[in-house]
Amino acid sequence: MKSKKKLTVILSVTVIIILLLIPKINFEGGGDDPSKNESKTIAVNVTGKVITPSPLKNKIFTNGTIIGNEEVELHSETSGKVTVILFEEGKRVKKDELLLKTNDAELQAIQKKNKLREELAKEKENRMRLMLEKNLSSQLEYDILLNELNTIRADIEYTQAQINKTEIHAPFDGVIGLRSVSVGSYISPSTKVATLQSLNPVKINFAVPQKYFGEIKNGKQILLRLPNTDKIYTGKIYAVEPKIDQNTRSVQARAIVNNDRNELSPGAYVEVNIILNEIDNALLIPSETIVPDIKGEKVFLYKNGIAAPQIVTTGIRTEKDVQIITGLKEGDTLITSGIIQLRPNTPVKLNSIN
């Protein structure tokens, strides 16, 4: 019985010793170099871009509205029944062209009467003048007849002015819109007949933040684009509101744009780019290559097979690129891909370069 207990103790001790020795056993051989077990650093595949100067336009973006170069609602100056309409809707008309006329029969009758009175007064004045030259009448009698003639002529001018009010003429060359009246309609000065617009050139109304007030000046070039199109139109600012809007803190401006192809329609919304200034030799890099840093912003440069971080100062931003003011120079190789995997002095392999 004692021998069995002794054997059990010996076996237990032996198992414990074996378990303690297992972690220290090297199954791959004790003569290998420990450095072979260390993981090797793999170079990150990247692409690069050689920094070269390029022209840069400093632009600001805003929205605008197209308006006609000239635009007017056509109204009659007097009330009356429309007797004739001489324009076609949507057609071009020339300046001073007669567009519409209302009934002027009564005025024409008065004018005819005035002209008959004028003829009689002219004959009286002529006879009296001859008599005055021969001293057969007095100066007073002649002056009375001359005044009567001039009064009649004034009546003729007044009546003609009233007749002119029964006519609507085009105030400028343009395209007339849809008419709101018909022959036989009774209209008053408040009745809108149609609209007339001059469509070449057209004007663009837009607003910019007040911080650009000193830079938005007459002669500044603008680029505008209709939404969902690739067509770009060029224009120039010709007027700037001298007062900043206190509600929006913005300044209103107006530009003029050529519209030879009649592609720009009044009332349309447009996207406006205003060119503030142009830089001939700007250093531009893709915006996605810039990494936030505790010291500001940085990029990674390719130098002798490693990624070297470089703090930069940025300037103007465009849709795709960023201007670098300090930190880079012409000829530097900028890493443009694989940036998320990079750390200072990470080994890199340059696959391609632009």
In a domain, 98, yes or no: yes
Residues 203 and 297 in one domain: no
Residues 89 and 171 in one domain: yes
217-262 pLDDT per residue, tens = 888 888 888 888 888 889 999 999 988 888 888 999 999 999 888 8
pLDDT at residue 161 greater than cutoff 90: yes
Range of the domain at 183: 76-102+166-192
Q: Which of 288, 292, 281, 289 is nearest to 325 (CA)?
A: 281
Using a 10 angstrom Cβ sphere, with 0-12 exposed, 13-18 middle and 19 or more buried, the burial of residue 252 is middle
Which residue, 232, 253, 279, sits at the end of a domain? 279
- Domains of the chain: total: 4
Task: For the chain, give the mean pLDDT.
Answer: 85
Q: Which of 66, 67, 65, 71 is nearest to 176 (CA)?
A: 71
Q: Which pairing describes strands 333-335 and 44-50: parallel, antiparallel, or unpaired?
A: antiparallel
Q: Return d(Cα 92, Cα 176) in angstroms, integer.
A: 6
Least confident range from 17-26, 115-124, 330-339, 342-351: namely: 17-26
CA 283 to chain centre: 27
In a domain, 113, yes or no: yes
Residues 94 and 114 in one domain: no
Residues 97 and 179 in one domain: yes
Residues 88 and 186 in one domain: yes
| pLDDT classification of 101: cutoffs 50, 70, 90 | very high
Q: Could you tell me the pTM of the whole model?
A: 0.61
Residues 225 and 324 in one domain: no
Residues of the chain above pLDDT 90, percent = 33
pLDDT at residue 63 greater than cutoff 60: yes
- 């500044």: which residue's tokens? 220
Residues 129 and 229 in one domain: no
Residues 213 and 264 in one domain: yes
Residues 214 and 259 in one domain: yes
259-281 pLDDT per residue, tens = 888 888 888 889 898 888 788 88
The three-class DSSP label of residue 294 is coil
Residues 334 and 267 in one domain: no
Residues 50 and 120 in one domain: no
**Length of the chain in terms of residues written:** 354
Residues 126 and 186 in one domain: no
CATH assignment at residue 314: 2.40.420.20
More reliable by pLDDT, 14 or 116: 116
Cβ-count burial 123-148 (b if 16+ within 10 Å, e if not): eebeebeeebeeeebeeeebeebeee
